[in-house]
Amino acid sequence: MLFDIFSICILVEAVWLAIPIYAANGLVPLIRGKRPLDFGKKFIDGRRVLGPGKTIEGFVAGCIIGAVIALVEQLAFPYLPWHLSDVPLTIVAMSPALGFLLGFGAMSGDSLGSFIKRRLNIKRGRPAPLLDQLDFIIGALLISSIAITIKLEWFVLLAILTPIFHWVACAIGYLLHVKKEPW
């Protein structure tokens, strides 16, 4: 079972599903929203519910980015060499609606992560190892499971790979001056 998770087939299937999720989460920092998702409200502990980094514009953009990337995957699907695989692949049929759902899940998971960070008194922009890297992928997989079947192997593999991809992407974003911190 463990080695099945690390097969190239499972990797291809999981990454195909994760592309709209990664795009939604990774490209949202380029959006400079002005309207806070929590409307500036404070929780019962006196701290902001989410903080100023989570905006309505960013949340909506994440959903739209997920939909657009899924549309690109849908259009590319017939031209990709799936037939070269020696074993049948379980490739999720992408659509803009599914991409929107994946983006919505990613933004919801990221917002929940921000909520948790505020409750733990972790300041905006400060790292929360694993929470920062897994909140969006878990949110996307959980929410999209209402529309598609998520293989346990995909979940496990993405939970292992996403922190690595996330740290690399954050470092690149920092070097390109898109992010203020390298995490």
In a domain, 25, yes or no: yes
In a domain, 182, yes or no: no
**Residue found under tokens 């920062």:** 132
In a domain, 180, yes or no: no
CA distance 96 to 174: 30
CA distance 22 to 20: 6
pLDDT of residue 2 exceeding 80: no
Angle, vertex CA 161, rays to CA 150 and CA 22, nearest 5: 70
CA distance 80 to 140: 24
By CB atoms closer than 10 A (0-12, 13-18, 19+), residue 57 is: middle
CA distance 181 to 109: 20
pLDDT of residue 145 exceeding 90: yes
Q: Which domain holds residue 158?
A: 2-175
In a domain, 183, yes or no: no
pLDDT at 7: 84
Q: Which residues contact 177 (CB under 8 A, 6 or more apart)?
A: none
pLDDT at 3: 54
**Percentage of residues in the chain with pLDDT exceeding 90?**
70
SS3 label, residue 17? helix
Read off the pTM: 0.90
pLDDT of residue 36 exceeding 80: yes
pLDDT digits (tens, 9 = 90+) for 54-75: 999 999 999 999 999 999 999 9
Number of compact structural domains in the chain: 1
In a domain, 181, yes or no: no
DSSP string, 31-70: ----SBTTTT-B-TTSSBSS-TT-BHHHHHHHHHHHHHHH
Question: With bands split at pLDDT 50, 70 and 90, how would you rate the model's confidence at 4?
Answer: low
pLDDT at 94: 98
In a domain, 18, yes or no: yes
Residue type, 134: L
Among 82-96, 103-117, 121-135, top mean pLDDT goes to 103-117
The chain-wide mean pLDDT, for the chain, equals: 92
pLDDT of residue 178 exceeding 80: no
**Residue found under tokens 């999981």:** 14
Q: What is the mean pLDDT of residues 114-128?
A: 89
* Lowest-confidence region among 88-92, 111-115, 122-126, 128-132: 122-126
Q: Are 150 and 144 in contact (CB under 8 A)?
A: yes
Output 171 or 183, whichever has higher pLDDT.
171
In a domain, 68, yes or no: yes
